[in-house]
Amino acid sequence: MTDFYQTGIITTLHQLGKPSLERMESELLGFSKTKPVALVLPALYSEFEGPAMPGIVQELSKVKYLNEVVLALDQASEDDFKRVREFMAPIQAPVKIIHNKGKRIGEVYETLKRNGLDAGPQGKGRSAWLAYGYVLARGQSDVIALHDCDIVTYSRELLARLCYPIANPNLNYVFCKGYYSRVTNKMNGRVTRLLVTPLVRSLQQLTGQHGFLEFLDSFRYALAGEFSMSADMARINRIPSDWGLEVGSLAEVYRNYSPRRVCQVDIATTYEHKHQVLSADNAEKGLMKMAVDICKSIFRTLASEGVVFSEGLFRSLIVTYLRQAEDTLMKYEADATINGLAFDRHEEAKAVEAFTNAIAMAAQAFVENPMGNPLIPNWNRVSAAIPDIFEVLKLAVDEDNK
């Protein structure tokens, strides 16, 4: 049976039958005349030395409907920057590269600091935020799509399906999250499967049917790094600078828009990228750091919505989560077994134990500092504080790309 089932409070756009990529790209080319599309790529230089980026650039070179590509490049020297410019040359759309370690962009960050605005530490959040700012500064695109640069199974169909719901003027969505199956010879996506879903459902059990929890639970892959949005959303949404980026971004979407204007789309039958190690003994690395940051983001979002977290609630949450996660683990074991997939019950149980510790660490951090690290301010606030910031940013990027 083809899965066309709608769940949750957002729209799910499935991959039904055998949709034609050529038909979709042809329609996107037509839509782009009135709703131009920008693609944002946050990347590390090391990703150009791996297996993913050559395939991504090869696929993007076949795409005709993009209005512009903005690559936010981190951890790159001047020579690396020049090599990346040559590497991106096959892409048909105009490509601009933001050299995050370059002198001109460094001056942009200094300008922000002098005006009391913190763009956060180096990372995907800051890179994506600055790229949105450049797209807004150019003022030539109405749709912004973003995907990661470590996808080794990349196909341009992923991008087309990601852009289509926002670019199509008849669908009236402002935000679209990608989802996909994280299955090879085994189930991947441990943080989503074994932390986020059991945690959200445990919180629902303890606090009742809260709107944000229902919203978060509606996404099939809340931690997916692929999404598209209206350019106007980039003006008003704030961005977390830590591993809570994906959950924090969804919190901003929930805060500013009706769920009726939010959707998720199946963008790939297979999706493979680099995997983080669990690092169960080190909360500053790997999946443990990600887990702690995600939990803190969820707690702070709920607190901002009026949920009161007490010491007793956190104690109950840890116990409730552990039961939920153990029950969830059994469901995945059965699912893996009927499909002939490898399933290491011991490793899965170790992940649950690590995530239980992550929840406890996040709870302690929240109690000690409920506000946490500030979100990167939205571009409306930045432009209010520094009226010429878009001109400054545009000049810096354009000069680097001459």
Q: Tens digit of pLDDT for each residue in 125-155?
A: 999 999 999 999 999 999 999 999 999 999 9
Q: Tens digit of pLDDT for each residue in 173-213?
A: 999 999 998 888 899 989 999 999 999 999 999 998 899 99
For 195-231, give one letter per residue: b (16+ CB within 10 A) or e. Answer: bbbbbbbbbbbebeebebbbbbbbbbbbbbbbbbbbb
16 located within any domain: yes
Full strand arrangement of the beta sheet holding 95-99: 11-13, 262-268, 175-180, 227-230, 143-146, 37-44, 66-74, 95-99
Is 94's pLDDT higher than 70? yes
3 located within any domain: no
- pTM to 2 decimals? 0.95
Domain total of the chain: 1
Q: How far apart are the C-alpha atoms of 146 and 162, rounded to whole Å?
A: 9
Range of the domain at 330: 11-400
- Alpha-carbon 280 to chain mean position: 23
What is the chain's Cα-based Rg?
Answer: 21
Find the helix packing angle between 21-31 and 156-167, rounded to 10°: 40
4 located within any domain: no
pLDDT at 274 (0 to 100)? 66
**DSSP-based three-state secondary structure for 54:** helix
Q: How many CB atoms lie within 10 A of CB 69?
A: 23
- Alpha-carbon 297 to chain mean position: 14
- Alpha-carbon 247 to chain mean position: 8
Q: What is the CATH number of the domain that holds 175?
A: 3.90.550.10
Share above pLDDT 70 across residues of the chain, in percent, rounded to a whole number? 98
Q: How far apart are the C-alpha atoms of 148 and 123, rounded to whole Å?
A: 13
146 located within any domain: yes
Q: Please spell the DSSP secondary structure of 17-50, one letter per residue.
A: S---HHHHHHHHHHHTTTS-EEEEEEEEGGGGSS
pLDDT at 1 (0 to 100)? 41
pLDDT at 273 (0 to 100)? 64
Burial class of residue 309, CB neighbours in 10 A (0-12, 13-18, 19+): middle
Q: Residue for token digits 């990349």? A: 154
Q: How far apart are the C-alpha atoms of 185 and 194, rounded to whole Å?
A: 18
By residue count, the chain amounts to: 402
Residue 70: its H or E element: strand 66-74
